[in-house]
Structure 1
Amino acid sequence: MRRVLALGAVLLASGVWVGCAEWPTKTPSEVRRSSDGPIELDDGRRVTVAFTEQGLVERHQGAEGGPWSKPRVLHPAAGDSECDPELTTYDNTVAVMADWDYGCYGDAAEIAIVAVSDGDLDEWDTHGIENIDGWEWTRFSWSGYRVVFRKGDGDGTTELNWRQSIGFTGPDVIAGPGEG
């Protein structure tokens, strides 16, 4: 019986640990954000994202400075200089929201793009949804292994989740009008 109770206690503690590690608690006011230039990660690396004729393009620089990486296309939707993606970072996880903005023309005006990188910035998970207004804010789990993109509208509150282990899931309506 003691073994069963001990195993139950271990499973309960593990469940609480995983739940807390993944629960989105870091709000945009607790993270660094930028829409007009490079953003610096906790370890000193810098990242910039912008729309070009080739699409949404990312470049990064090492913590010790030096040259910027070659441009990498995160999504092929072309845009102009008025299509300002917003970068947020918590710990060493970077999240990008790129969607329609006043003055933004081209393919980028038709699609809401999000991207996340949590490693060496050589790999990014990207997700695009056509014909929505875009995401309003980003929230990070305290571990940085989960990022939640959220927006509210007349249909309720909608979330798109990214987890380090499985990538993007959703979008899901989590609350109807007046519920949350």
Structure 2
Amino acid sequence: MRVRGHQVLILTCAAALLGATAACGGAGTATKRPGTARTAPSHARFDAEISLPDGRRVGMYYATGRGLVEQHRGTGSAAWSTPHLLHRTTSDPCQSLRLKAFGTTVAAIANWGVYCADGEPPTESLAAVGTGNLSEWDTDVTPDFDGWDAVKASEETGELSFTNGSVESVTRLRWRRTEGFSDVEEIPR
């Protein structure tokens, strides 16, 4: 059998398309088999994702040229909420995006800046807190700052503290459910 040039091209394209479809798993859907604890897979685009004690999930990702996007889903639901832009920026994202749950409260730390992913310090540092049904978030952006290292909760007050420590001092940003974010504090060691 003789194959002409255009037939070779068609056969090559068909083989590549078939291979790509098989390698990606096709257009199938995730299903839960009886007796297994598997749930539908998360969005592959999330840069960070967390489960809450009540079964809800929160995922966030850096959207190039837009900023930080949040989505969440309810207990037992496979459907994610509509993407919600938490912080608008066109700066480059840094390498880290951290989520931490304190009961049903979610805290997020994110940073942006030119060459930040390559190790340069951020020029925008975001602290965000979501509560309740997670449709509304409190956010605070600190410009030209090295970024928040950690977030902790006070067991007595429920206050969250975002911190960044150095040899000389600790920088702290507090959040309270009734008041939102405070001013940034510089506390000498």
- TM-score normalised by structure 2 residue count: 0.66
Aligned residues: 140
Aligned to 2:37: none
Return the structure number with greater relative CO, CA threshold 8 A, min gap 6: 1
Q: Deviations over 1:97-141 (max 9, x none)?
A: 002587528xx9420001001211001000001100101111012
Cα shift at 1:148 = 0.3
SS at match of 2:96: coil
The counterpart of 1:37, out of the listed 45, 48, 67, is 48
Q: 1:83 to 1:173 in 2, by over 3 A?
A: same
The structure carrying a bigger strand percent of its residues is: 1
Q: How does 1:107-146 map to 2 (within 5 A)?
A: 109-142=122-155, 145-146=158-159
Among all aligned residue pairs of Structure 1 and Structure 2, give the percentage whose two residues are the same amino acid: 34
Query: Structure 1 residues 61 and 111 mapped into 2: Cα distance closer, same or farther (>3 Å)?
Result: same
Offset, 1:85: 1.2
- Whether the aligned pair in 1 keeps the contact of 2:122 and 2:146 (CA below 8 Å) is no
1:138 maps to amino acid: V
RMSD between aligned alpha carbons?
2.5
Q: Quick one: structure 1 residues 162 and 68, their matched pair in 2 at CA, closer, same or farther if it must change by over 3 Å? A: same
Q: Work out whether residues 50 and 84 of structure 1, in 8 Å CA contact, stay in contact via their aligned partners in 2.
A: no
- Which of 57, 66, 70 pairs up with 1:58? 70
Gaps of 5+ in 1: 1-34
Q: Tell me, yes or no, if structure 1 residue 172 matches structure 2 residue 181.
A: no
TM-score normalized by structure 1? 0.69
Asked if the contact 1:159/1:171 (under 8 Å) is kept, the reply is yes
**Pick aligned residue for 2:107 from 95, 120, 131:** 95
